[in-house]
Amino acid sequence: MAFTGERKILNQPETDLLKSDPLGRIVHRTAEAVLASSETVEQLATRVDAIAVQMQQQSYQIFALSEAVQTLVENQDKSLQDVNHLSQTLQRLAAAIEAQNS
């Protein structure tokens, strides 16, 4: 949606007819304003598209991060269970050694 061709036509000096016709000047200026607004909307749409792409990429990164955190939590739970089991085994071993020495 490029409006450069239309802009070039409207940027040409006003003809004598437009200079003497107030309605023609109003139409000409309105057309220039519409084209300028259209160009601005087009630029904003391009920026919004770029932001949408960035947001999509960030959502993938957030998902990957949440998966990594979930894996870390699961591994931490397993490690805690292993430490508890080791502590119980060491307590039984210490109790057995103590009972043997008594």
The pLDDT value recorded for residue 1 is 47
The pLDDT value recorded for residue 24 is 82
Ordered mean pLDDT values, 10 residues apiece, the chain (102 residues)? 51 59 86 94 97 97 97 95 96 93 82
**What is the Cα–Cα distance from 57 to 63, expressed in whole angstroms?**
10
DSSP 21: -
8 Å CB contact between 25 and 18? yes
The pLDDT value recorded for residue 21 is 80
**What is the Cα–Cα distance from 93 to 60, expressed in whole angstroms?**
49
The pLDDT value recorded for residue 13 is 57
The pLDDT value recorded for residue 93 is 95
The pLDDT value recorded for residue 101 is 87
